[in-house]
Amino acid sequence: MDVKILIVGVGGQGTVLASKIIGEAAQLAGLDVKQSEVHGMAQRGGSVVTHVKFGDDVYSPLVEPGQADYVLAFEQLEGLRWISHLAASGKLICSTQQIMPMPVITGAAKYPEDIESKFREAGVDYLMLDAIDTAGRLGEKRAANVVLLGALARHLEIGREIWQQAIRNVVKKRAVDVNLQAFDCGWNC
Amino acid sequence: MIVIKKLMSGNEAIARGFYEAGGHAATAYPGTPSTEILEHISQYPEIYSEWSVNEKVAVEVAQGFSMAGARSLAAMKHVGVNVAADPLFTMAYSGVNGGFVLVSADDPGMHSSQDEQDNRYYARFMKMLLLEPSDSQEAKQMVIDGLEMSEKLDLPVILRTTTRISHSQGLVELGERKEVGLRSYEKRPDKFVMMPANARRLRVTLDQRLAEAGEFSETYPGNRVIPGDGKFAVITSGIAYQYAREVFGQQATYLKLSMTNPAPRKMITDFISRHDNVLVIEEGEPFLEEQIKFWGLKVTGKERLPAVGELSAAIIAERILGGQKYSPAVNAVEGLPQRPPVMCPACPHRGVYFLLAKKKPIITGDIGCYTLGALPPLNAMDTCICMGASITAAIGIKQMLPDRKVVATIGDSTFLHSGLTGLVDAIYKKSNIVVLILDNHITGMTGHQQNPATGLTIRNNPTNRVVIEDVVKACGVENVQVVDAYDLAAVESALDQALAADRLSVIIARRACALIVKDKGKPYWIDSDKCKRCRACMRIGCPAISYADNLVSIDGNICNACGVCRQMCKFGALQEG
């Protein structure tokens, strides 16, 4: 097994927590794992990318273009920005959430219309998911990241109990229950 | 024995290594990508740790720890080493008592920095030992090795990481802490009083110590050959090793170097003599390559690989193998809107910059979240060079352009880091500038670290608080105003007063960073019956406010309820909670 995942979104959306849970689950499954993210200025509402790789032996922590088995996108435009990292057999899991970047707010640029059709035209294997709405129905919109994670986890060769343990290990105690529910919603979607 | 492994960032692994090595005391000034090193060290009760006011202070205090016999560490980002360079150069002459490791966290690609200087050159320039880990496990081990070799060879060590080491996570084997007592303190003016007579003698022994270190480097286990099929022969170090390994796998034989100053000359000469067409693969500048070529050996390096930006497996594959090892299956979509970083919703800097830009002075900026004021729609910055340079650049500009209004903007932590000396200079010069201190009660951009103005230690324990307005007044500034950064009328009135004054003025715009405020209040919303679609509220550039389908709206998921937008509206359309 040798899995490469790119998690993309906007600073503040919780991409780092999702990658932590994946890393923890891979480790619990006895695999080598590496992940890489960027802190600092980029986190202030900019585009953020987290790389996660696990398997028997992992060298570079980064996922190269055309190599990602999965791109997990927390925001539509960010999903579109990173489709060239998908492998030919790769799958995109994308939240329907849209966050306007500052050049769009100021009118200097236009947010792309109907991004889903662009995925279709490009021949991308994709799944769109209203993770905010799902998490909102659980009473915690901030758990949208774990809904998306659940939708990803279903495709990976790591058992469901291991994922649940990883969530218990990583998430703050008082948020464990809602995150486990969020994970299930994503898994079953 | 069961080996316990933990997924750790390079920064956490460095902290772990310092703990296991029996480290006694550590200092740092926060800076991406180094910040979490000291945050993790502060979790170990066995170690004394503190945020320093700047990197020079961090190194000097840590040198004091070392002189007192302690195993010590100072951590900073690459440009922080520039600030600390003065004590560091001389420290190589003196050597150490307790082992000393300087962590320099470089930022190739400038994810969060103003330059991408390759600090390995500092090790050569300062004549220090240099270690380059290639993952978290090695980062931990090299802190332990570094402290030992520092004591054995009587030299300071630079442990040099890059963003992809600092902020990548990998599995690390945990070991026990080995308690090491303080080495005895003896009065040693011959070693630590750097008067010319002592320095001249130590200059000679410095080269002798380095020669001994060169021998040590030949047998250091971190410098080793990793055999392969030998189709390619690669000399590499740091993260570049991982990228090369990803590209060539078993096809290459690697000389993987960890101790790269002094580099193991015999080992390298031997490796090159056994292989044809040896490639040097390193991220950044041709540091190893220049050394190897200086020795008269033939290798290929930057002729084929870029020195600019981050290296990657894809770049190595393209430049060395040609062809398309990592070609996209789906083409990238061109022309997408960029998503630059922005000030957060309710950032206290936003309204201040909006008003400042309206007055059209020359605005000299500084390093922190508030550097984002340079971007549209605020466009409120003319210069930003390095920590503390806002005030000093303003002095120079004002001196040459006396008819222009000049305002220096600087954060609380940056002001104490190196703005204070500039302010003293402005007082001394009778410089008629405005210094606008953006005091958000925290060191923000690096992820919320305490500083002397917060009155809390790294472990959030109360300590003495440096009161910025008291310091400013005590230095001799008479025209000092303190305002609430959320109160646009008060900020504007303070700005008008200061800009009209014929003397040095200081304004402290105070309000806590929105990310550290726990009770945020309910999000604002827009009454669309009252809204005239003038979009005045959008001129402040808040990411929570957007316009679509002839409707201005506030995203309640991200609004932090500062109310600055409401003060922009003449029609009372913005509603609280």
* Token pair recorded at residue B108: 């190739």
| 3-state helix, strand and coil shares in percent for chain B, rounded to the nearest 5 | 40, 20, 45
Residues of B in contact with A113 (CB under 8 A): none
B164 and A58: CB-CB below 8 Å? Answer: no
A34 and B329: CB-CB below 8 Å? Answer: no
Tell whether B556 is within 8 A of chain A (Cβ).
no
E-strand ranges in B295-450 read 362-364, 406-411, 434-439
Nearest to B341 among A45, A58, A60 (CB): A45
d(CA B494, nearest CA chain A) in Å:
28
Tell whether A30 is within 8 A of chain B (Cβ).
no
Residues of A in contact with B377 (CB under 8 A): 102, 105-106
Query: How far is B548 from B528, CA to CA, in rounded Å?
Result: 13
pLDDT at B325: 84
Find the helix or strand (DSSP H, E) in which A19 lies.
Answer: helix A15-28
Residues in B 377-406 with any Cβ partner in A closer than 8 A: 377
B557 and A88: CB-CB below 8 Å? Answer: no
Residues of B in contact with A98 (CB under 8 A): none
Instruction: Read off the pLDDT band of A189 (50, 70, 90).
Output: confident
Q: Say which CATH architecture domain B224-321 belongs to.
A: 3-Layer(aba) Sandwich (3.40)
CA separation, residue B567 to residues A117, B101, B339, B349 (Å):
41, 51, 27, 15
Q: Chain B interface, mutation test: which of A10, A38, A124, A125, most B Cβ atoms within 10 Å?
A: A38
Q: In DSSP terms, which residues pair with A112 in a beta bridge?
A: none
pLDDT at A101: 93
Contact B412, B466 (CB under 8 A): no
d(CA B393, nearest CA chain A) in Å:
23
Residues in B 278-317 with any Cβ partner in A closer than 8 A: 312-314
d(CA B332, nearest CA chain A) in Å:
5
pLDDT at A40: 67
Domains identified in chain A, total number: 1
Tell whether B449 is within 8 A of chain A (Cβ).
no
Task: Enumerate residues 6+ apart whose C-beta is below 8 A from B419.
Answer: B366, B388, B390, B391, B410, B435, B437
DSSP class of B305: S
Domain that holds residue A170: 2-188
Tell whether A173 is within 8 A of chain B (Cβ).
no
Residues of B in contact with A84 (CB under 8 A): 328, 330-332
Cis check for the bond before B402: say yes or no (omega within 30 of 0).
no
Total length of chain B: 577
Residues of A in contact with B245 (CB under 8 A): 59-60
Tell whether A34 is within 8 A of chain B (Cβ).
yes
The alpha carbon of B462 is separated from its chain's Cα centroid by a whole number of angstroms, namely: 26
Query: How far is A129 from A36, CA to CA, in rounded Å?
Result: 25
d(CA A22, nearest CA chain B) in Å:
11
d(CA B244, nearest CA chain A) in Å:
8
DSSP class of B318: I
Find the helix or strand (DSSP H, E) in which A47 lies.
Answer: strand A47-55
Q: What are phi and psi of B441, to 5 degrees?
A: 65, 15
Contact B331, A122 (CB under 8 A): yes
Residues of A in contact with B331 (CB under 8 A): 84, 122
Residues of A in contact with B312 (CB under 8 A): 60, 62, 64
One-letter amino acid identity for B300? T
Contact B545, B538 (CB under 8 A): yes
Query: How far is B331 from B201, CA to CA, in rounded Å?
Result: 63
Cis check for the bond before B543: say yes or no (omega within 30 of 0).
no
Residue (of B372, B368, B444, B431) closest to B404 by Cα position: B431
B171 and A108: CB-CB below 8 Å? Answer: no
What residues does each domain of chain B span?
5-219, 224-321, 349-510, 525-575
CATH assignment of the domain containing A84: 3.40.920.10
Dihedral Cα B41, B44, B46, B50, nearest 10 deg:
40
Q: In DSSP terms, which residues pair with B157 in a beta bridge?
A: B101, B129
Q: In this structure, which topology does domain B5-219 adopt according to CATH?
A: Rossmann fold (3.40.50)
A64 and B376: CB-CB below 8 Å? Answer: no
Identify the residue whose tokens are 């922005």.
Answer: B342
Query: How far is B505 from B179, CA to CA, in rounded Å?
Result: 53
Tell whether A55 is within 8 A of chain B (Cβ).
no
What are the residue ranges of helices labelled H in B403-518?
A: 412-414, 420-429, 468-475, 488-500
- The number of CA neighbours under 13 Å toward the Cβ of B10 is 33
Query: Is the domain B525-575 a CATH 1.10.1370.40 member?
Result: no
B377 and A106: CB-CB below 8 Å? Answer: yes
Residue (of B430, B368, B418) closest to B389 by Cα position: B418
CATH H-level, domain B349-510: superfamily? Thiamin diphosphate (ThDP)-binding fold, Pyr/PP domains (3.40.50.970)
Query: How far is B256 from B252, CA to CA, in rounded Å?
Result: 12
Do domains B224-321 and B349-510 share one topology? The answer is yes
Query: How far is B390 from B485, CA to CA, in rounded Å?
Result: 19
Nearest to B546 among A42, A58, A105 (CB): A105
Q: In DSSP terms, which residues pair with B81 in a beta bridge?
A: none
CA separation, residue A127 to residues A53, A71, A132, A159, B540 (Å):
21, 11, 15, 21, 36
Task: Enumerate residues 6+ apart whose C-beta is below 8 A from B89.
Answer: B125, B126
User: Is A54 in a helix, a strand, or coil?
Assistant: strand
Print pLDDT tens along chain B (577 aa).
788 999 999 999 999 999 999 999 999 999 999 999 999 999 999 999 999 999 999 999 999 999 999 999 999 999 999 999 999 999 999 999 999 999 999 999 999 999 999 999 999 999 999 999 999 999 999 999 999 999 999 999 999 999 999 999 999 999 999 999 999 999 999 999 999 999 999 999 999 999 999 999 999 999 999 999 989 999 999 999 999 999 999 999 999 999 999 999 999 999 999 999 999 999 999 999 999 999 999 999 999 999 999 999 999 999 999 977 888 899 999 999 999 999 999 999 999 999 999 999 999 999 999 999 999 999 999 999 999 999 999 999 999 999 999 999 999 999 999 999 999 999 999 999 999 999 999 999 999 999 999 999 999 999 999 999 999 999 999 999 999 999 999 999 999 999 999 999 999 999 999 999 988 899 999 999 999 999 999 999 999 999 988 999 999 988 999 999 999 999 999 999 8
d(CA A20, nearest CA chain B) in Å:
9
Tell whether A105 is within 8 A of chain B (Cβ).
yes
Contact B249, B325 (CB under 8 A): no
A87 and B329: CB-CB below 8 Å? Answer: yes
CA separation, residue A144 to residues A180, B357, B540, B549 (Å):
12, 38, 29, 27
Nearest to B369 among A44, A65, A109 (CB): A44
Residue (of B506, B501, B509, B504) closest to B480 by Cα position: B506
Residues of A in contact with B164 (CB under 8 A): 36, 61-62
